[in-house]
Amino acid sequence: MDQNWQSKLVLLAVLPFAGTEAVLECNWWGAHKPSVALWTLGLSALLGLVTWKVRAATAAAAVTGALIMASLMFSTVTVPYDPWHTALIPTLTVSLLAYAATHAGRGRKERLGTAEGRRGRSASQIAANLGLAAMAASSPVESWLMNFRWLPYDAAAQNLLFALSLAALAEAAADTVSSEIGQVVGGRPRLITSFKAVEPGRDGAVSLAGSLAGVFAAASVAGAGTWALRGSWRLFWIGSAGAVFGLFFDSLLGATLEERGWLNNDAVNFLSTASAAGFALAMLIAMR
């Protein structure tokens, strides 16, 4: 069954949203504080160019990533402005972890037939992994959260509103690192639904080494985001917990709906980041 429509649907959901948010924010900051717009657009474009040059992503994927990066950075601007204290740092951490994990043990992955293509990730893959984070950090969602009476009264002051996006970003890193490292070390993985031993690279397969690597990646991104946004320990723990929940939810979807051909990998990744953000929101509500 052709599932390309699911990848196109993810792109259709993410690109107009991130693009519109980036354009509107750029227009506002350009009129009020041009340096914010210049730094944000410049760093986003630079990251996209480097990603394309090292063949970690196709040209279309690099543009998609740059738009998402700009949207995330604009959503986390504080005054006085410092680009290193925005979503740039956790998003860059995701990219670096994914790049390192993808290239780790590449020879073994090529023998297994699970290695990523030489041209890097596609636009739909970038949108599926990072798009939900940009959507969750957007102005409409943050406004809704601030008016949501069940949230902690000091959520905005402690940057807890970014917890949803941070959990989604951390889950994207955890999923990639867990999968890529699990194929290299840790022996034969097991299916998450039955614990039956399966071949590396199988949808829904998990291994101890891969899972631990994923948890480490989640904590790394959550830590980077907490530092960048000068958040509290609560932001770190909520981001980490949401990411770990999403990591195993991803495996569950892989072993069931993806294995049966109902969902493709892009749809699974997008839904998994959404589950991470949803778990983070549930934790915020429970803390009220």
What pLDDT, in 10s, does the model give residues 20-71? 999 999 999 999 999 999 999 999 999 999 999 998 899 999 999 999 999 9
pLDDT tens-place string over residues 229-267: 999 999 999 999 999 999 999 999 999 999 999 999 999
Average pLDDT score over the chain: 91
Q: Label residue 69 exposed, middle or buried (CB < 10 Å: 0-12, 13-18, 19+).
A: buried
The pLDDT of residue 95: 95
The pLDDT of residue 184: 83
- Kindly tell me if the per-residue pLDDT of 113 is higher than 70: no
The pLDDT of residue 6: 96
Q: What percent of the chain has pLDDT over 90?
A: 72
- Classify the C-alpha dihedral 142-216-187-117 as positive or negative: positive
pLDDT tens-place string over residues 186-224: 678 899 999 898 887 788 989 999 999 999 999 999 999
SS3 call for 236: helix
Q: How confident is the model at residue 83 (pLDDT cuts 50, 70, 90)?
A: very high
**Contacts of range 231-238, beta carbons closer than 8 Å, 24 or more positions apart:** 231/158, 231/159, 231/160, 231/162, 232/158, 232/159, 232/160, 234/158, 234/160, 234/163, 234/287, 235/158, 235/159, 235/160, 235/162, 235/163, 235/166, 238/160, 238/163, 238/166, 238/167, 238/280, 238/283, 238/284
The pLDDT of residue 1: 60
The pLDDT of residue 185: 80
